[in-house]
């Protein structure tokens, strides 16, 4: 009898199998990005003079830097709200029976099955002067005049938090599901209270899910053009709308391209920080 054929190494497949995906990536991601970079290196809208004038204009303009700062701050606020509200939901999912788990996961996934435009218009109705919140507060006698909730930072944060909540809750559910429930019992049997068990056992082991949820939520919140524009109105300006105004309204394509590159680098910097924290937390959780 001949020798049994050696098992094939899973990494021995030719790189040609990845060629279609690589070609798609080059055509629809790398090429537009290079064109955007090339366009941003022109000092005039006619594209006749090369230079870094657009970048210098943005980085020395207090208004542009303010728009960038407010956008990054908005992402941090939305991420914090999603984390505070999403963690109890994920924790409750791991503590209830299968029937309630089905209901919770349906509630979490339901927003993903609805268009962002529809959800945003729903929040416009809820936050309006005659909306559900103001009508309820007035009927209870808490307020006499309607509160201004729409076209405010508070309204944008609440609407974005509801829209992006699944991106935070789902990684948390996965991370909490990997924690051995016997650890909680062991901690309690050793005399630790509920809060001490949470901060010393549950939270450290769930940090990879927290970091993953924060990364997804932050990146989605600061680029949510529709929700920022409709709920925020014209009284607040964030980077996606600032970019749209420069490109479509003012036809200043080189400056719009420079805004895009700077915004992309800022987002990559924040995501890199989250990624670094994720690696550190993974080692901390396994320790």
Q: Are 222 and 156 in contact (CB under 8 A)?
A: no
**Residue 273 falls within a domain, yes or no?**
yes
89 within a domain of the structure (yes/no)? yes
pTM assigned to the model:
0.84
- Give the count of domains, the chain: 1
Query: Does residue 37 belong to any structural domain of this protein?
Result: no
Q: Can you give the pLDDT of all 287 residues of the chain as single tens digits?
A: 444 555 555 556 667 778 888 899 899 989 999 999 999 998 887 777 888 899 999 999 999 999 999 999 999 999 999 999 999 999 999 888 889 999 998 888 887 888 888 888 888 888 888 888 888 888 888 888 888 888 889 999 999 998 889 999 999 999 998 888 888 778 877 878 888 888 888 888 888 889 989 999 999 999 888 888 888 877 788 999 999 999 888 888 999 999 999 999 999 998 888 888 877 766 555 44
- For residue 233, the tally of other CB atoms under 10 A from its CB is 14
139: phi then psi, degrees, rounded to nearest 5 = -65, -30
Residue 173: CB atoms within 10 A of its CB come to 22
- Domain span holding position 191: 63-283
CATH of the domain at 217: 1.10.3720.10
Does 36 fall in a domain? no
pLDDT reported for residue 93: 92
Q: What is the pLDDT of residue 283?
A: 59
Residue 24 falls inside a structural domain: no
d(CA 15, CA 126): 53
CB-based burial of residue 34 (10 Å sphere; 0-12 exposed, 13-18 middle, 19+ buried)?
exposed
* pLDDT, position 1: 45
Q: Tokens for 35, please give them.
A: 């064109």
Is residue 28 one of the residues assigned to a domain?
A: no
Kindly state whether residue 19 falls inside one of the protein's structural domains. no
Q: Where are the beta strands (DSSP E) in the chain?
A: none
d(C-alpha 202, C-alpha 183), whole Å = 9
Over its C-alpha atoms, the chain yields an Rg (Å, rounded) of 24
Tokens representing residue 193 in the block: 């209270």
Question: Alpha carbon of 149 to those of 140, 152, 153, 185: distances in Å?
Answer: 18, 6, 8, 45
Please give the distance of CA 120 from its chain centroid, rounded to a whole number: 16
Is residue 231 situated within a structural domain? yes
């Amino acid at each position: 009898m001949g020798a049994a054929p050696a098992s094939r190494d899973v990494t021995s497949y030719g790189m040609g199998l990845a060629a279609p995906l690589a070609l798609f990536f080059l055509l629809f991601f790398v090429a537009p990005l290079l064109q955007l970079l090339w366009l941003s290196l022109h000092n005039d809208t006619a594209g006749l003079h090369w230079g870094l004038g657009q970048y210098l204009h943005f980085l020395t303009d207090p208004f542009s830097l303010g728009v960038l700062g407010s956008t990054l701050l908005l992402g941090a606020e939305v991420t914090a709200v999603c984390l505070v509200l999403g963690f109890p939901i994920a924790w409750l999912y791991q503590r209830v029976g299968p029937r309630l788990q089905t209901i919770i996961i349906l509630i979490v996934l339901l927003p993903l099955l609805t268009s962002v435009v529809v959800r945003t218009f729903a929040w416009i109705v809820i936050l309006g002067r005659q909306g559900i919140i103001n009508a309820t507060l007035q009927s209870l006698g808490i307020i006499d005049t309607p509160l201004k909730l729409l076209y405010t930072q508070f309204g944008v944060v609440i609407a974005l938090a509801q829209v992006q909540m699944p991106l935070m809750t789902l990684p948390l559910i996965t991370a909490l599901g990997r924690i051995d429930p016997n650890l909680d019992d062991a901690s309690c049997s050793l005399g630790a209270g509920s809060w001490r068990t949470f901060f010393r056992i549950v939270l450290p082991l769930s940090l990879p899910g927290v970091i993953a949820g924060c990364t997804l939520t932050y990146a989605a919140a600061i680029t949510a053009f529709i929700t920022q524009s409709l709920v925020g109105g014209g009284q607040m300006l964030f980077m996606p709308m600032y970019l749209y105004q420069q490109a479509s309204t003012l036809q200043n394509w080189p400056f719009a391209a420079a805004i895009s590159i700077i915004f992309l680098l800022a987002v990559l910097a924040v995501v890199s920080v989250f990624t670094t924290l994720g690696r550190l937390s993974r080692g901390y959780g396994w320790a």
